[in-house]
Amino acid sequence: MTNLADIIAPISEDEFFRDYFGERFLHIPAAATHKFPNLMPWPQLNAIMSQTALWTRETFLMTLNKEQVHPNQYCRVRDLRGEKAFTPDPARVMEMVKRGATLNLLYIDSLTPELRGIANALREALGMYCQANLYCSWMGVQAFQAHCDPHDAWVFHTEGEKRWRIYNGRAENPIRHDMFDRLMTQPKPEERGDLVADFVMKPGDILYIPRGLYHEALALTPGTVHVTFGCFGTVGLDLLNVLWPMLVRDKEFRTFLPRLTDPKGEQAWAKRLKDLGQKIAAVVGSTDAQEALKAFAKDRAKTTSDYDLPKR
């Protein structure tokens, strides 16, 4: 069974959490023996791509010249009970590949035992939600300009060679929200910062990039593949997920606020909000809310299990 120690060796877990986790990038070159040789070799990638029923236009993406390709250019449109369904068409996909398009397969962490093993190891060790995306690109192609992610990234390089650049600029605690889109995907030079590392990743190499740190990659060989496991921690905003079902039981939070057209409406409005704020503070500080948020975090980081048929 894969664990964090296997992934980061020869770095120890104590050293990783003390010196790198959430703070610094870590490049772990491949050992003499490839740690995960079966993670995503070319035959396996071709096999899972061929299972077209698995894919939709939301999970099978392509980019060309740093722009996302419209699904109409590489998908077939099928009519399923009156609803349109987009599935990748191998011939159209290969035509886009010939033009240099990058493949981006999303949410693949459950598709093979190797992917599940790594994802579960990260979930268990970090207590974070984890998903995996695959990127396949071609010599001289850069799918994305310098950018940062709203999650910690664990990059497992499986095929070909790719040049990575890491910058010292860092977005402050970015999340998936419109207000961070430009900052994450189109940073200004002063936001991106200065280049601090420039190296080539080869099959078996692993790279840890903490959330918000700017980076970019360029394929150096005819075909490159890497799988990125994105790990999302629980943040304060997640409190909103547990507060709603708790507050909805209190009639004060279901009561209409004072009518602002009343001459004394502004004053009454301010008092009501102050009273509600005090109630929210009391709920947030309660044992129930803390336990509910812990349960929320643990559920997100829950490992996935395997089927074991024909056992019952």
Tens of pLDDT, residues 53-111 = 889 989 999 999 888 999 999 998 877 677 788 889 999 999 999 999 999 999 999 99
Pair of tokens at residue 297: 């975090």
- Helix (H, G, I), strand (E, B), or coil: what is residue 86? strand
In a domain, 89, yes or no: yes
Number of domains in the chain: 2
Task: For the chain, report the end-to-end CA distance as a whole number of angstroms.
Answer: 23
pLDDT in the model for residue 32: 64
For residues 242 and 220, is the Cβ–Cβ distance under 8 A? Answer: no
Encode burial over 259-286: b for 16+ CB neighbours within 10 A, e otherwise.
Answer: eeeeeeeeeeeeeeeeebeeebeebeee
Domain span at 110: 4-232
Quick one: 178 and 296 in the same domain?
no
Q: Is this model's pTM higher than 0.75 or not?
A: yes
Quick one: 215 and 250 in the same domain?
no
Output 187 or 32, whichever has higher pLDDT. Answer: 187
For residues 204 and 34, is the Cβ–Cβ distance under 8 A? Answer: yes
Quick one: 108 and 242 in the same domain?
no
Quick one: 245 and 291 in the same domain?
yes
For residues 179 and 226, is the Cβ–Cβ distance under 8 A? Answer: no
3-state helix, strand, coil in the chain (%, to 5): 35, 25, 40
Tens of pLDDT, residues 39-49 = 999 999 999 99
Pair of tokens at residue 14: 């104590």
* pLDDT > 70? residue 38: yes
Q: Is the dihedral of CA 135, 140, 143, 147 positive or negative?
A: positive
d(CA 306, CA 312): 13
